[in-house]
Structure 1
Amino acid sequence: MNAALRPEDRSATLPPSAAAAGALHGALLESRQRWQDLAGLAADFVFEADGAGRFTFLWPDQILGHSATRLLGRRAASLLLGTGPDPFELRQAVRRQRYWMAGAGGEPRCVLLSLVPLADARGNITGLRGTAHDVTEQEHAATAAAAGLRRAALLDALADKVRLAATARDSLAQGLAGLRDALGCAGTAMIVPGQEAPSTVAATAEVPVALVAAVAAGLVAGTDWTGTLEGGGPAALLHHHGRPLATSVLVAWRDRGARDWDAEDLAVLRSMAAMLGAVLGFGRIQEELERQATTDALTGLANRRAFLAALAGALDVAAPSQGGALLFVDLDNLKPLNDRYGHDAGDAALRTTADLLHAAAGPDGLAARFGGDEFVLWLPGADVPAAIATAENLLRAAADLPLDGKSPHFSIGIAWRRPGSAEHAAGLVARADTALYDAKRAGRGGWRMAEPAP
């Protein structure tokens, strides 16, 4: 008699067909799990499509945000964006090709698509099997990196134009022209806001009135602005903020119907607003420093250094037939004015003298404070009678201008330069200075004519 079977031994007594079926079921489950693991590692989703390009199988449950169930039976090509070739109709193998497909919300998604055709026993194509990997983020990163490289290359090229220019004004002109051509603008300009009205410092074309008015009215209130001009195209106003001499606005505009600014355009415009604004600011600061270095602070006239340089330049380029007269003017009673009425009275006398000489110089002459109580006046083309008449007019004008009860009076030395003379500025100044001291020795308040040049 056989012993009773133990529970753990009962499987050994199952019919052979049932045991094989159990083993096969386990193997299938394991194979399915292995396939899912490998597919999940290799791709974001896998699919099959029939001969008409309709989805017949999709995995996993979510495909680019779509429900896999809702995509079954839908043509795969309906997800494609753009107008390129349809890979689902090529009926040939595709290996890791980029395509843009619509996500569940309609947003574009970039996928790497791999396809193989399915064929029946006769070799007829009956469908497709494929995998896809979502590389949207990588594509955006690569696009941004490429755009950044293009932007950097463009800014480097524009910076070279600005850097290699000889002057600040040339730098502005080169930079604005390069920016206009690079971004396809109708025009570009640098505008400096002012208390009364903005001034256009440099421009590649006539600035639209609406843009100048926007700067003048403070429409953008010191902030960047982009928009569309009424009756025109896209426009942009971008500020460079700095000290008063370095504050400016870069203005750019396109023709009507032109494309709007994109992110890359605006990035370039902002960078150029800072670059050109700095160039303009440095140029204006340099001009102000040069003005201060060549201008007498009290009177506003040219100082000695500037006058000698201007006179030397005028005599070097003067036509042989041109003459002129140099008047050396001394404010005789400056020290008594200072001693009796204070330095304010003396300063007023110096400013009055400067006003008289500036008026006498006219549009072609040059007046300067030579130092202390001495002034000079160059009258290009003046003959001897004209020089004497100018000196006597100055003497009369000074007598008619009382300052705190005491009128200023002058001693004047005159040196005439005959037409065609080769006399240099130093010799002319020396003769006028000698004549001045002759006038002072003669009792002050008068004029003397210098001896002719050797």
Structure 2
Amino acid sequence: MTMALCPEERSATIPPAAAATAALHGALLESRQRWQDLAGLSADFVFETDSAGRFSFLWPDHVLGHVSAGLLGRRAASLVLGTGPDPFDQRQAVRNHRVWVAGAGGQPRCLSLSLAPIGDTRGQFAGLRGAARDVTEEETATTVAAAGLRRAALLDALGEAVRHAGTAAEALVHGLTGLRDALGCAGTAMIVPGAHGPEIISPTTMVPPGLIEAATDALDSARDWVGRLDGRLPAALFHHHGRAPALSALAAWRAAGARDWDAEDLAVLRAMAATLGAVLGFRRLQAELEQQASTDGLTGLANRRAFLGSLAAAIGGRAGDAGGALFFIDLDNLKPINDRLGHEAGDAALRITARLLRDAAGDTGLAARFGGDEFTLWLPGVTEAEATARAEALIAAAAAQPCDHPAPQFSIGLAWRAPGAVEGAGLLVARADAALYEAKRSGRGRWHLAEPAA
């Protein structure tokens, strides 16, 4: 018959050494659990290396996707990405040292390492003891934020250069130059399709072979393009769609052998394509407004303001020019045409006059509608005899025009300016105007040559 023992009796039967061992084992288990809990709270993994930098201990069982047992005996530095100094070659404690390492499958991971050297019984270096935190997401977010700030600062600086330009054309050049220098490009350009081939706007005198073809393809397909021209030059094209006809492409290229574009480069180029595309649209609008401000809408000739400015620039009141003749032309019968046949017939007569004067001006002269039925013509370099012959030819050409209504009839006042004269535009215009008055007073359909300048 077996008799049960009470607890007091059982404990009394356990030898003291066994009890001490059991107590020590329990304390060790508790200490190990405490250590694991603390390590797990402060780090993603802990490790030790030997004096040769090989892993000799790793916890927990899986580290960065690797099986910890498979890393034992492997040099810790073999996981490090890049070519910088070995972060595990330490002889003193370091905290929160960041390093990129290869996780399972080669995925890059950023670790924050805290390391302390281990000494042997003789005080010699025996390895490292360390804790590591995986801070990849934090580092990536910081990098993205920093890149965003750098990009914003760069775009703001480029925007300032564009905004402080005096004209839209200057803004394009400033923006392209700043972009080229900021991204280390060999050149930048805005490319605009045209009826006679693409227009290239660039502070760079030469564009690389193949760029125009690539830009044309990008514009035709409305797609951006990033690659290498001739397999050597890193290049990028970003198109911009504005109000028609405001299609354009920003082109940038680097020298042969230069680094490829990174994500930040491309983000800046994409943003500047929109900015400079808008500036290009404004340049077109500005040119149209200037054209409208300086052109007579009915005839397409220069208007009074534009003509006077061009004449003053052409002669400038300076000695040494080739001289020439200023014609003041009056369409004598415009009012009768309007009264009898209507304003459409009058407009036709004005357009005929404009065509005749445009032909007479050629590539070197200036023709304008001065206002109402008055026109002007400046012919540089002609002699006085040539000027009077031109006046007679204009009167005859107007009278010979085939049309369904009375042909235009011209009265012309002539003022000849000798080569090297110092007479300014104002005096020249006054003499021609006075000569026109004399021509009309003598019967119209005639020409009159002004007296020489005093």
Measured at CA, do residues 206 and 323 of structure 1 come closer, stay the same or move farther in structure 2, by a change above 3 Å? closer
How high is the sequence identity, in percent, across the aligned residues?
66
- Where does the alignment leave 5 or more consecutive residues of structure 2 unmatched? none
Deviation by residue 1:230-267 (Cα, 9 ceiling, x = unmatched): 25311111123212354322111223322211112212
- Per-residue deviation, 1:215: 2.9
> Could you say if the C-alpha distance between residues 93 and 220 of structure 1 is closer, same or farther in structure 2, counting changes exceeding 3 Å?
farther
Shift of 1:301: 0.6
Q: Distance in 2 between matches of 1:308 and 1:384?
A: 22
CA distance in 2, matches of 1:422, 1:84: 75
Letter in 1 for 2:342: G
Q: Distance in 1 between matches of 2:361 and 2:93?
A: 90
Change (3 A) 1:389 1:14: farther
Which residue matches 2:403? 403
The answer for the alignment partner of 1:32 in structure 2 is 32
Alignment-mate amino acid for residue 117 of structure 1: P
Q: What displacement does 1:217 show?
A: 4.5
Contact kept? 1:45, 1:132, Cα under 8 Å: yes
CA distance in 1, matches of 2:232, 2:205: 15
Instruction: Quote how far apart the aligned CAs of 1:39 are.
Output: 0.7
What is the CA–CA distance in structure 2 between the aligned matches of 1:425 and 1:93, rounded to whole Å?
87
Of residues 352-361 and 43-52 in structure 1, the stretch that sits farther from structure 2 once superposed is: 43-52
Which residue is equivalent to 1:64?
64
Structure-2 separation of matches of 1:453 and 1:132: 96
The equivalent of 2:106 in structure 1 is 106
For 2:147 and 2:106, the matched residues in 1 are separated by: 24
The farther-off stretch of 385-394 and 213-222 is: 213-222
In structure 2, C-alpha distance between the alignment counterparts of 1:70 and 1:424, rounded to whole Å: 95
1:348 and 1:403 in contact (8 A); partners too: no
Whole-angstrom distance in 2 between the partners of 1:215 and 1:83: 38
Q: Which runs of 5+ in 1 are unaligned?
A: none
AA at the equivalent of 2:267: A
Indicate if the aligned counterparts of 2:218 and 2:237 stay in contact, CA closer than 8 A. Answer: no
Query: Which residue pairs with 1:15 in the alignment?
Result: 14
CA gap 1:182/1:405 in 2 versus in 1, 3 angstroms = same
DSSP-derived class of the 1:244 partner: coil
Alpha-carbon distance in 2 for matches of 1:202, 1:74: 56
Shift, 1:393, TM fit: 0.4
- Tell me the residue number matched to 1:253: 253
Task: Quote the offset at 1:13 in angstroms.
Answer: 5.1
Question: Per-residue CA shift, 1:401-453, capped at 9, x if unaligned?
Answer: 12214322212122333455554433333332333233333332222233444
| Cα deviation digits, residues 263-298 of structure 1 (max 9, x gap) | 122122223323333333322321221111000111
Q: 2: distance between equivalents of 1:54 and 1:419?
A: 95
**C-alpha separation in 2, matches of 1:386 and 1:195:** 39
CA contact (8 A) 1:345 1:403 kept: no
What amino acid maps onto 2:14 in structure 1?
A: P
Superposition map of 1:43-442 within 5 A: 43-217=43-217, 221-244=221-244, 246-319=246-319, 322-419=322-419, 421-442=421-442
Mapped partners of 2:346, 2:30: distance in 1: 109
In the comparison of the two structures, how many residue pairs are matched? 451
After superposition, the CA RMSD in angstroms is 2.9
Q: How far apart, CA to CA, are the structure 2 residues paired with 1:274 and 1:361?
A: 42
Residues 190 and 203 in structure 1, CA contact (< 8 A), matched pair in contact too: no
CA contact (8 A) 2:45 2:132 kept: yes
Contact 1:341 1:404 in 2 (8 A): no
TM-score of the pair, normalised by structure 2: 0.89
Amino acid at match of 2:380: P
Compared CA separation, residues 231 and 85, structure 1 to 2 (3 A): closer
Q: Which whole-Å deviations, capped at 9, do the CAs of 1:145-191 have from their partners, x for residues lacking one?
A: 33334334433443444444444333333333333333232222221
